[in-house]
A and B are shown apart, each in its own frame.
Chain A
Amino acid sequence: MTRETPLHAVHERLGASFTDFAGYQMPVRYTSDLAEHHAVRQGAGLFDLSHMAEIECDGPQVEAFLDYALSNSLAALADGQAKYSLLLAEDGGVIDDLIVYRLGEQKYLIVANASNRDVAVDALQARAARFDVTVTDTSDDWALIALQGPLAASIIESAPVSLEMPLAELRYYRITSGSYGDHEVLVARTGYTGEDGREIFIHSPQAESVWTSLMEAGGDQLTLCGLACRDTLRLEAGMPLYGHELSRQVSPAQAGLSAVVVNTKESFVGKDVALEPKSSRVLVGLRAEGKRAPRAEYPVLDGAGTVIGEITSGALSPTLGYPIAMAYVEADHREPGTELVVDVRGASLPVTVTELPFYSRKKVTS
């Protein structure tokens, strides 16, 4: 039984095509994956991300709890600050990757992947047992709408949303509260596209109304977007996707996420092992010539024809015009410039190891 987000009826009315994702019926595209991708890079795109899991953590020991339960230092966050974090297993494998927002002195909001909602909630609640803290799965209470792209901020400014601080002062990886009519909203400067953008949390009954207001505020400058372009956008930005680049079988060290592990903390789940590899393979970026893209699970070979890795994500990059991919390869092939080969359904595609990300926006304004 697949679930629907609070915006499902809106998507149907607006002509979206749907796909099953993490147990939800989600818009995969409205019109064209490529047009939606380019709109986010050049203008603004509107996404329904209400499938994402929201987990609220409250209590006098919430700082100590999160520093124990997660990989980095969440106690150090100022009110209104956000941080990318990892929920690790005892053996250092990745249970989920998360964004953690500090909403107040004793209150945090965690956004987890929809596909990991239950395991993330279970792990956090189990780790909360020894702390004076409450962990609550509030996923069904919240709708999440992302407005991404260089025009995102100006569109929100012309929408009927009032915030506690001027939107221009909301710095990267910060969140602020506000109101939409009589209703509470949270607006964060976060995203998963490699573009500047904002994410808007609104209680589910008001989701449709906020979505419509944003469409009206954006007018011709705003493009409705599905999950297909979200995947190519995050791939260009070199951002990992759980189930592809991240899993229980890899440690943060292998995924290039050692900086998300603060091993100097006294005690946390996965301490020490998180910086140890679980195999001799590491995550790299690959690029190719032509138009044919490596895809997830295709073998990666060295010049002698020996399999030395596997693709985790790949596509013809809409922004760059050439094929890009991420792959786990044996660590002695990780240097940028290394020439490798991908077996694309029986054909050999030459690829070159390259630095991640493939694409960075030109300027972060604040």
Chain B
Amino acid sequence: MSNVPDSLQYTSDHEWVKVDGDVATIGITQYAADSLGDVVFVALPGVGDSVQQGAIVGEVESTKSVGEIFAPVAGEVVEANDAVVDAPDTVNSDPYGQGWLIKVRFADLPDLLDAAAYTALIGE
């Protein structure tokens, strides 16, 4: 049973989004991390990169498979979590905390899923 915090919003691509003003912090859900297995490699966009909503902006690899990170919002990358690049297993151990991936400054926030809708999506 995956942890799906009520305080966050979600995408059908298994990212979570935490909005603070005009900045969205983005990571992958515990469900996504558990499905991948042990994360051993994380590739993130650079600070200052502009990203389109739905575009692939990074990758999360386990020994078993590759997961792509899709930007849930359009905007400019204002921070990337270098600590998670150095210690990729943080994505497994703390996906909603220290395992965050990027922060994006956005103009418009698209419709996202709430915790109940995401929980239904993953069938739990």
- Decide: B37 and A33 in contact? CB cutoff 8 A: yes
Give Cα A228 to B39, complex, Å. Answer: 13
- Decide: B38 and A17 in contact? CB cutoff 8 A: no
B32 CB, min distance to chain A CBs, angstroms: 13
- Decide: A17 and B34 in contact? CB cutoff 8 A: yes
Q: What 1/0 flags go to B57-97 for Cβ under 8 Å of A?
A: 00101111110000000000000000000001000100000
- Chain B residues near A293: list those with CB within 8 A: 41, 61, 63
- Decide: B43 and A316 in contact? CB cutoff 8 A: no
Query: Within 8 Å of chain B (Cβ to Cβ): is A41?
Result: no
Considering residues A33, A35, A231, A232, which has the most beta carbons from chain B within 10 angstroms of its beta carbon?
A: A33
- Decide: A292 and B61 in contact? CB cutoff 8 A: yes
Give Cα A95 to B8, complex, Å. Answer: 50
A: interface residue count bin: 10 to 19
Q: Given A32, A291, A292, A295, which contacts B37 in the complex, CB threshold below 8 Å?
A: A32
- Decide: A318 and B63 in contact? CB cutoff 8 A: yes
- Chain A residues near B40: list those with CB within 8 A: 34, 291, 316
A46 CB, min distance to chain B CBs, angstroms: 18
A66 CB, min distance to chain B CBs, angstroms: 36
Q: Given B37, B41, B61, B66, which contacts A228 in the complex, CB threshold below 8 Å?
A: B37
B: interface residue count bin: 10 to 19
Of residues 272 to 331 in A, which have CB atoms within 8 Å of B's CB atoms?
Answer: 291-293, 295, 315-316, 318
A221 CB, min distance to chain B CBs, angstroms: 22
Q: Given A232, A292, A345, which contacts B63 in the complex, CB threshold below 8 Å?
A: A232
- Chain A residues near B34: list those with CB within 8 A: 17
Give Cα A292 to B63, complex, Å. Answer: 10
A14 CB, min distance to chain B CBs, angstroms: 16
- Chain A residues near B62: list those with CB within 8 A: 33
Q: Which 7 A-B pairs have the closest CB atoms?
A: A291-B41, A33-B37, A34-B38, A228-B64, A316-B40, A33-B38, A315-B63
**Chain B residues packing against A (C-beta within 8 Å):** 34, 37-38, 40-41, 43, 59, 61-66, 88, 92
**Chain A residues packing against B (C-beta within 8 Å):** 17, 28-29, 32-35, 37, 228, 231-232, 291-293, 295, 315-316, 318, 345
Sample 9 A-B pairs with CB under 8 A, ordered by A number: A32-B92, A33-B63, A34-B38, A228-B37, A291-B88, A292-B43, A293-B63, A316-B61, A318-B63
Given known contacts A291-B88, A293-B41, what 11 new A-B pairs fall within 8 Å (CB)?
A28-B64, A33-B38, A33-B62, A34-B38, A35-B38, A228-B37, A228-B64, A292-B61, A315-B63, A316-B63, A345-B66
